[in-house]
Amino acid sequence: MNPNPYLEQAMEMVKAQAGVKQMTPAEIVEMTKEVAEGLNNYVSGTEEVESEIQEPFIEPKRAIRLNHIICVECGAKFKILSKKHLASHGLTSDEYREKWGYKKGTSLVCKSVTQKRREKIVSTKIWMKTSKNSKSEKNDSDSKPDKKK
């Protein structure tokens, strides 16, 4: 009798994998052993528990670059790391920042997009428009005398 009862199941799984991916005979044998052992450990409850700490795809400090930001979870490149992409990892932007050690206010955008946004704000001088509007409203209210006596 087989010392490992899951050997046949492992052979079927490896056979399916070998049909999709080109494998050497040594790789097939090794993979069959690993899968059979893994199935046996899983069923018997003696499986090795992987650590909860996930290795980053790239060092978080180096992920925000000039023309793209790299997702530390999966390594995908973006101009803006969107909420939709982070949701695919089961994270919000705040959770992502906290998990990978970014400061709370860190923008998940590449540096070129940040620079373009900054240039646009400076060119429109939005702060002057806002302060003029608030000053003129204040002056209008000061210049109108109260008609109540």
> What's the pLDDT band for 11 if we cut at 50, 70, 90?
confident
Residues of the chain with CATH 1.10.10.1550: 53-129
In this predicted structure, which of 6-10, 47-51, 59-63, 132-136 has the lowest mean pLDDT? 47-51
Strand partners, 78: 69
53-129: CATH homologous superfamily?
ROS/MUCR transcriptional regulator protein (1.10.10.1550)
Give pLDDT tens digits for 24-61. Answer: 888 888 888 888 888 888 777 765 544 456 777 888 88
As a whole number of angstroms, the distance between CA 107 and CA 105 comes to 6
Structure confidence at residue 47 (pLDDT): 52
Q: Which burial class, exposed, middle or buried, applies to 119 when counting CB atoms under 10 A from its CB (0-12, 13-18, 19+)?
A: exposed
